[in-house]
Chain A
Amino acid sequence: MIKTLFTKEFLDSIRDKRSIFAALLGAFLPPIFFAAIMTFTLEESTSVDELYISIENQQQAPHIVALLEQSKILQANMPETGKTFELDGESLEHSKITLTFADDFAQKMEQGQKATITLLADYSKKGSREEISRIKRVVNRYQSQLVTMKLTARGISPSILSPIHIEENDTSSPSSKSALILGMLGVMILVAAFVSSTNVAIDCSAGERERNSLELLIMQPVSTLQVVIAKTMNTAFFGAVGATLSIILTALVIPFIPLHKAGMAFNFDLQLGLTIWLLLLPLALFAAAFQLAVAFHAKSFKEAQSYIQYTIMVPVFLPMVLEIMNYKNAALSYIPIFAQQQAISQLIRGDLESYLPFVGGSIITIIVSFAIIKFTANSLKSEKVVLGL
């Protein structure tokens, strides 16, 4: 009986262009949206901009000036007023830093004496420390190269200058900003499970009633439970397909996100994808049961759409808030939606400790879904819901 019901529901939905389109949109939009934000944020946080400084007595050290230029530290005359100056018609910001080579700089260098560079800057200015150390790094690099060459020329190993080798190993987890965005990835996939099935859910409940075929269906020798189970299976199928596509697309776009710029290596491998997929199957069932319950209680297709718009905020925004707060609580692993959010978030960040809470969470999600299905089936026995009174 359920097979008959399901076959018809599936045929009806798969031929509905609007449902298919909505499901695809739900699947494709979140990962693309995510990739765009992530790329933008990373480019923003890690790209090196040109730094304009005033350099006095350039002719004293053309090598250093050239090296500075390679590092995008460029000479520009100090603007007379304000911070900006014009270059090729563009208005650019001057760092207000002045680098002065002493008048006898070249001469002293040649004689192997200490030569002086004066760095004039407002150290209290926001970001100036970073700018100053950029300049210093270039000068120091030049200096150490020079020393190495001089020592080598005198037959001395340059390693005498640095007897200790510091090996740096970064054990910190990715910076909080990037981790947050990665966490958002999990939320996006969660959203796909909901959004992909919304239109199907409304179409086969409020929509079917609006087209006057629900009443006739209920009048057939089938139980309302069978009807709701078939409709939930069909709706969940679309949610699951949406989530699957979303995961695949995420795996495809991640290599294009410049994660390395933030010093992050994130490997979205098959195992991670499959684990997330398994976590999402119960969620797709829950999303279907939940949305059908809402849509059946609406009077019309339109009303169902606006109800779902509001109720979908719960699964979309609450996990997002938790994600931003990076809130973790063992109890959350046993609540539908949050269980999946917590699990995916921890999987992606690579700090999942135990699968046990999530197995429990998945089982609870399935149980809650069946409770909702039962509730909807019972309410279909009421004339109010069937006739949309």
Chain B
Amino acid sequence: MLQVNNLVKHFGDIKALDDLSFLAENGQITGILGPNGAGKTTALRVLYGLLEAEEGTGLINGVDSQVSPQLARKEIGIFPDKFGLYERLTAREQISYFAGLHGLKGKEKEQALDDVIEKLDIADIADRRCEGFSQGQRMKVIIAQALVHQPQNLILDEPTRGLDVMSTRILREILLELKQQGKCILFSSHVMQEVAALCDKVIVVANGKVAAVGTPQELCERTGKTEFEDAFVALIGSDEGIAA
């Protein structure tokens, strides 16, 4: 379970987060939808304990990530906003490294590695160095390293950026499967169709505030629009920075 309460955060004079609160529950895919610059990544960074909020708390399974970030981070797998692989390591070494950072050792680690490699179907590239991987292959490696320690929560920051249709579909299947297992999935996007198709709950964020919360269906009904896109525009009051 992931929760942020009343986050306030400034970058200089700019108010990035303005009393932002939301909740992502287990067994659900929760989407954060917002235009570019709405504060999605900032909110997630606060939740990881990477950034410090001026006010408010970020809770991961009830652990305050601002107070004890290391304990809180054990319970999450992260697919970050910007991701870089270690180009000189093989995919397996890369995943093994993150497994090690989460405290997996010896046989347990090898088993976890084998499982996740099989699950993501990357055995063919597992022993190749990451340099020269395609976007789709990189995405899979990043997902694998986020899942190798089997976290209860998975946070994905704009995961479908730059992915082709096939990779997006694979990602979608993985997310749905994790949902079935009762995991909590939080994922930010500015692509509406993706959010509409996948999410059980949508949190619409604009200008560092929550503009609306509900299922895609509910949001449409609330704004009296038939298309989710129109509903979204109505909710944030502008169509700036959105991709259809």
Contact = CB atoms under 8 A, between A and B. Distances in A.
Interface in B40-79: 45, 48-52, 69-71, 73-74, 78
Contact of A215 (B49, B82, B85, B103): B82
B100 interface: yes
A212 B86 CA distance: 9
A61 B45 CA distance: 99
Given A219-B50, A219-B73, A221-B70, A12 B88 contact: yes
Nearest to B93: A11
A211 B73 contact: no
A213 interface: yes
Contacts of A208: 84
A223 B68 CA distance: 11
Contact of B98 (A11, A215, A220): A220
* Interface residues on chain B, size class: 20 to 34
A8 B99 CA distance: 12
Given A4-B101, A11-B93, A12-B89, A213 B84 contact: yes
A216 B97 contact: no
A222 to B, nearest CB: 6
A44 interface: no
Main secondary structure of the interface of B (DSSP, over half): loop
Contacts of A16: 88
A5 B101 contact: yes
A5 B74 CA distance: 16
B60 to A, nearest CB: 11
B88 A11 contact: yes
Given A11-B89, A223-B70, A212 B97 contact: no
Given A215-B82, A383-B52, A221 B101 contact: yes
B80 interface: yes
Interface of B: 45, 48-52, 69-71, 73-74, 78, 80, 82-89, 93, 97-98, 100-103, 129
29 contacts: A1-B100, A1-B103, A4-B97, A4-B101, A7-B97, A7-B100, A8-B100, A11-B88, A11-B89, A12-B86, A15-B89, A212-B80, A212-B83, A212-B84, A213-B84, A215-B80, A215-B82, A216-B80, A216-B84, A217-B101, A218-B50, A219-B50, A219-B80, A221-B73, A221-B101, A221-B102, A221-B103, A383-B45, A386-B50
Interface of A: 1, 4-5, 7-8, 11-12, 15-16, 208, 211-213, 215-223, 383, 386
